[in-house]
Structures are given as C-alpha cells and as structure tokens.
Structure 1
Amino acid sequence: MDVVTVGETMVMFTPQTMGLLRYAKQFVLSYAGAETNVAIGLSRLGHRVGWISQVGQDEFGESLLSFVRGEGIDVSEVKKHPTAPTGLMFKEYLNKKELRIYYYRHQSAASMMNRQNINKDYISQAKFLHITGITPALSESCREMVFEAIQIAKHHGVKVVFDPNYRAKLWDTDTAKPILLDIAAQSDIILPGLDEGTLLVEKDKPEEIADALLDLGAKLVVVKLGPRGAYYQSAEESGYVSGFPVDEVVDPVGAGDAFAAGFLSGMLEGISIESAVQRANAVAAMVVMVKGDYEGLPERETLMRFMNQSSQDVHR
C-alpha cells in the first residue's frame, strides 16, 4: 500500500439551479470528503491507496462504498455502524462567485469512529499515512483514533503527512489550535494553507510559518498559496513554485486535497521536492476548473499533457 488515509466522506447533494437552497427542487448526488478526494487523486495517478472510515448501515453508505471502491481504493477497513447514519452535505451556489456548504454529520457513523477502527497491520504496510485536521474535529473518540494511527505509523516508520484543513463549522480556533499543533509536532510532512499556517503559529509569511513548523519537528513543510502556487522548506532546501494559470475558477472546493494528491504522487515516485510541488500545483489547477470536489482529478496522461502545455507559462 502506498498511502493510507483516515476520515469521513459524506453523500453530497448539489442543486441543479443557482440561488438559495430553499428554492432548489432537483439535486445531483455525489460524494465529498477530503480524505477520499486525496485517495481518488492518487488512485487515478496509478498509486495504491487504502481508506479507513465508517459509514452507516444504510443505502447512502452502500452507495458511498460502491463509489469509492469503483475508484480503485481499498475499502476493506471501512466499517458499517448498525445505527448511526452516513453523513450528508449540501452545496448552495448563490451565484458564480459565492458558495455555501451545509453539513449534516452530527452523530454520523464516521463521527463514532474510535481506536478500534484502526488496524495496526494495515497502517504498518503503507509508505505514507495521510491525516487531516477534519477527523479530530468530529468527536473525542475520532481525535483519539487519529493519535492512535499516528503512533502506529511512527512506530513502523510510516511517514505521517498532515493537512491541517481547518473547518470553522466543526470547531473553534481555541479548541482546534492545540490539537492541530500536537498533530503537527508528530508529523513528517505538513501541508498548511497560508491562513491555516497563520492560525497555528501566528505568522503570516510562508518562510516564517515553515520555520515554526519545522521547529516543532516536521521534516518538510509546504505552504499552499492558492493561485500563486506554493512555498516549500526543509532543512536542506527551500523555494517558491508558481501556480498554473487558470482561465476560470469554476469550483474552488477540493483544491487543497488535489494539491496533496499531486504532491504525494511526486513523493512516492522519488522526484525532487520542487517537481512534486509543481505537480501538486498542476493537479489543484485542474480541479478548480471543474465543478465538484473530485470530478476534475486527472489521470496521469491528462496531467502530463496539461503540465507540458502549461510549462511555457509557468516561471519558477
């Protein structure tokens, strides 16, 4: 297994019309979860990925499992809760520039996960464990599960990759900050957005954010800068990598997950950090040009063609 990731994915409903959700009459069913977005991105690029989670013993859970399995992801460690439901999510496109998200995940099956959901043998076989800051926000038992997974990974030499992925609708900053910092201190690679980095270390420059997170114990920090690209820093090297030009941002949701998938793909293949960040920028750019969280995630041939066509416009 190349990568194992842990977290909740929800069934998502998107109205077929723009405007207030109260007027929507028809919806498209799809799926939304940071961890499965990353897993799908990696799978489409040819990597082996496993997902640890929990769904309800309901039709939404069956639909979700079928979809994720169909994307080539191993779901053997996804459990079914006998009474708690699969989480739901709604998108509301008020207009082309404003998007709102509504979660119906309180006491969902995934929020009931605990240490017993973690199979140490399963994690020990991976090269990377991918963790986001969403999972520990779901419940106290999910928080304990995340730290259990991290300890198992560290014991077996599996590199821990952490995307803080702060969600204000799930917890406040005073609660989140010490927990996210604790996870960061135990991670090998940290992938914060600029705002998340500022939240964690109270610095607003990418170099200062990276310095502070490296001081915690990380080996590599990549600060995502949106359209501007990203800044990476380790003990040996650092630099900025420009983003890829995008004609129109159709849907920004999922860009950070796409970035993580592209970056991890590069790390798995042993290319340079700079090249891995460039690949991450490319995957993120491709995703924001397509409506939906995972629909724009490219297969390898499509990604390489996009990067080659855009390379003349990208200056590092």
Structure 2
Amino acid sequence: MTAPVDVLTLGEALVSLRSSGPLALGGPLTMHLAGAETNVAIGLARLGHRAAWVGRVSDDELGEFVLRQLRAEGVGTDGVRRDPDRPAGLMFLERRTADLSRVQYQRTGSAGSALTCDDVAGPLAAGARVLHLSGITPAVSDSAREATMFAARQAAAAGITVSLDVNYRARLWSRDAARAVLTPLAGYASIVIASVDELDLVAGPGTDEPGVVAELLGRGVQTVLVKLGADGARAYTRDGAQHLAAVPVTAVDTVGAGDAFTAGYLSGHLDGLDLRDRLRRAVALGAFAVTAHGDWEGLPRRDELSLLTGNAAGTTLR
C-alpha cells in the first residue's frame, strides 16, 4: 500500500506560452507549465516533501508535456486522468513593458475544467498530511467547484489539514460569486492565505483585515496569512500577529510568487517549524520565485534555502 503523501493538491494545470514582447507582433513563444496548485506542488517537491497533484490533462502531446514536467520535478501524478475529449488549457503571457506583463487565457472547456468529485475521491482516500486548495479551481467550472468543496469536506472530516489560498482571478468570476463560494470553503480550512485585497472574499463584503481575521479564527481557522508583496507578510493566530519583511532581491518576474510563498509556509508546517520560521521560509521562497522567469523554475532545493540570506547581491559562488 502506498504511504500517504505530505501534500495533495488539485486543480487545473495550464500550458503557458510566453512571449518576450507584444503577442500581436508575433515572434517566438516558449512553453512552460503553469497553474497555482502545480506551482505549490513543485515548490514542496523541490524541498524534499512528498507532493502529489490531482487533475485532468488532455490526451495529446500537451497533456504529456504537463505530466513530464511534473514527474521530472518529483510530483506524484498517479491521480491524474487523461481526457480524450477536451483540450489542454492555455495561458498566453506577454511581456508588454519591462514592468508589466499581460495574460490571456484559452481554458473554457479544457480537460482541467472537467475535474469531478470522482477524480478526487481516490487520491484523497489514500491519505495526506495536508490538502492544499486554491480559489482558482472552483472558479473554472461547476464540476470543479463541487470537487473542491467535496475535497475540503472530506479532508476536514478525516483530520487532514486543509490549506486554502484565495488566489482570486477577476477574469474567471465576480467578487460576489467568489465570496459566495470561498467564504463557506474557508470554514473547512486550518490555514487561509490571501492578499490584502482578497480578504473580504472569505468574509462579509467591506470587512477590514482585523474583522476578517477575527471571523476566520472564530470559525476554527488556525492561521491566517496575509501576503504583502514587497512588504513581506503577516501571520495571525489565536496567540497574536507576526510580521516579517520580504527578502530584498532584484525582481524580474513576479508570476508565481504567491504560490512559492505558500509552498514555503507549508514546508515549514510539515517540518514542525514555529510560526516565525515558517514565515521566514515562505518569504524566502517568494523571493526565489521573483528572481527568475517562469512560475516555478527559480524555486530552490532544500540545500539552497540560505542562498538569498547568506550572500550579498551580485555574489558569485565559486
């Protein structure tokens, strides 16, 4: 019998096609794996944790690309289904200016959007220490929303730690629609992660940060993490709040930074670190993410965790 994984994630994996300039002008595209949940799984696997991803991929070369990328990074894919009837979801990312990137999606009717409760039930029954969810998956389709809620309910009932990153995407649903789903979903979570502008999506509209935190902790959430970008992060528990500054680095690509932060925090949780050290690992992974192009390509191995804090900018290790 296969041992339970450390972290199980589920969602939609995308094939990301990146352009260094405006898409309208043509030019070469580079192909990458993208997806909030796969980013987290890869970040955890690189740190030596047993991570697995559940989802559907197209039954063609693009689906094979997704699986090869995940397997190469050590992410378990036994729970992945090949869907012969639906295409891969695509994300086009153009570098519009040196400081601004723009995204376009072609994901309606994708294989990943067809995720169902049946897809999730088996891998979840096999066991995990943590189930990680994002607010993206319930936005992509009705069946994916049902699968997300099912997974959260089953995991919470089984005593599995549930982690929820709000990860709001305005192109997928309205704030009101998101709030109607994410507020009850957060009730199953032990860990809720959000940017400042996402907090009201897991509570009443217009609720300020202290009010959201108090409501979540009162509903049984153990830790509320607030991502502050270049200003670091705040963590709230029943014992109080902590703030940690970001690691100063030269940012070249901010895509995937939030997912890296989540992977770092969950890694610290799995390793039994105290709250301060979990935050320290989370902001370190966020810093690694923004120093390289791609959603996850710059994430560290475990023996590289001290690279950004132990060396001055511009250092060459010989």
Normalising to structure 1: TM-score of the pair? 0.93
Equivalent residue number for residue 231 of structure 1: 234
Equivalent residue number for residue 212 of structure 2: 209
- The AA in structure 2 aligned to 1:104 is Q
**Secondary structure of the corresponding residue to residue 298 of structure 1:** coil
In 1, Cα distance between equivalents of 2:209 and 2:272: 24
Superposed displacement of residue 75, structure 1 = 0.1
- The AA in structure 2 aligned to 1:118 is V
In 2, Cα distance between equivalents of 1:108 and 1:180: 22
Equivalent residue number for residue 10 of structure 1: 14
Distance 1:220 1:123, change over 3 A: farther
**Secondary structure of the corresponding residue to residue 91 of structure 2:** strand
In 2, Cα distance between equivalents of 1:141 and 1:229: 35
- The AA in structure 2 aligned to 1:221 is V
- The AA in structure 2 aligned to 1:242 is A
Normalising to structure 2: TM-score of the pair? 0.93
Q: Is the 8 A contact 2:56 2:115 kept in 1?
A: yes
In 2, Cα distance between equivalents of 1:227 and 1:147: 32
Equivalent residue number for residue 133 of structure 1: 135
Distance 1:228 1:135, change over 3 A: same
In 2, Cα distance between equivalents of 1:69 and 1:223: 31
> How many correspondences in the alignment?
307
In 2, Cα distance between equivalents of 1:123 and 1:179: 24
- The AA in structure 2 aligned to 1:9 is A
Superposed displacement of residue 217, structure 1 = 2.5
Q: Deviations over 1:170-228 (max 9, x none)?
A: 11111111101111111111011111114443457644432232223311111111111
Distance 1:86 1:121, change over 3 A: closer
Structure 2 unaligned residues grouped into runs of 5+: 313-318
Q: Is the 8 A contact 2:192 2:221 kept in 1?
A: yes
In 2, Cα distance between equivalents of 1:255 and 1:205: 24
Structure 1 unaligned residues grouped into runs of 5+: 311-316
Superposed displacement of residue 78, structure 1 = 0.4
**Which of residues 266, 270, 273 is equivalent to 1:271?**
273
**Secondary structure of the corresponding residue to residue 94 of structure 1:** strand
In 1, Cα distance between equivalents of 2:133 and 2:61: 27
| Aligned-residue identity in percent | 39
- The AA in structure 1 aligned to 2:281 is R
**Secondary structure of the corresponding residue to residue 4 of structure 1:** strand
Q: Quick check: 200-209 or 218-227, which moved more?
A: 200-209
- The AA in structure 1 aligned to 2:70 is V
Aligned-pair Cα RMSD in Å: 1.5
Q: Is the 8 A contact 2:58 2:82 kept in 1?
A: yes
Equivalent residue number for residue 302 of structure 2: 300
In 1, Cα distance between equivalents of 2:55 and 2:283: 28
Q: Is the 8 A contact 1:210 1:223 kept in 2?
A: no
Superposed displacement of residue 238, structure 1 = 2.0
Equivalent residue number for residue 27 of structure 1: 29
**Secondary structure of the corresponding residue to residue 97 of structure 2:** coil
In 1, Cα distance between equivalents of 2:134 and 2:141: 14
Question: Following superposition of structure 1 onto structure 2, how do residues 1-316 of structure 1 map, counting pairs within 5 Å?
Answer: 1-15=5-19, 17-18=20-21, 20-120=22-122, 122-201=124-203, 202=205, 206-246=209-249, 248-309=250-311
In 2, Cα distance between equivalents of 1:288 and 1:189: 24
Q: Is the 8 A contact 1:123 1:129 kept in 2?
A: no
In 2, Cα distance between equivalents of 1:266 and 1:221: 15
**Secondary structure of the corresponding residue to residue 266 of structure 2:** helix
Q: Deviations over 1:64-114 (max 9, x none)?
A: 111111100110000011210111110011111111101110000011111
In 2, Cα distance between equivalents of 1:297 and 1:204: 34
- The AA in structure 2 aligned to 1:218 is V
Q: Deviations over 1:19-42 (max 9, x none)?
A: x21112211111110001000000
Distance 1:230 1:206, change over 3 A: farther
- The AA in structure 2 aligned to 1:264 is L
In 2, Cα distance between equivalents of 1:12 and 1:121: 26
Superposed displacement of residue 123, structure 1 = 4.7
Q: Is the 8 A contact 1:203 1:209 kept in 2?
A: no
**Secondary structure of the corresponding residue to residue 160 of structure 1:** strand
Equivalent residue number for residue 313 of structure 1: none
Distance 1:183 1:122, change over 3 A: closer
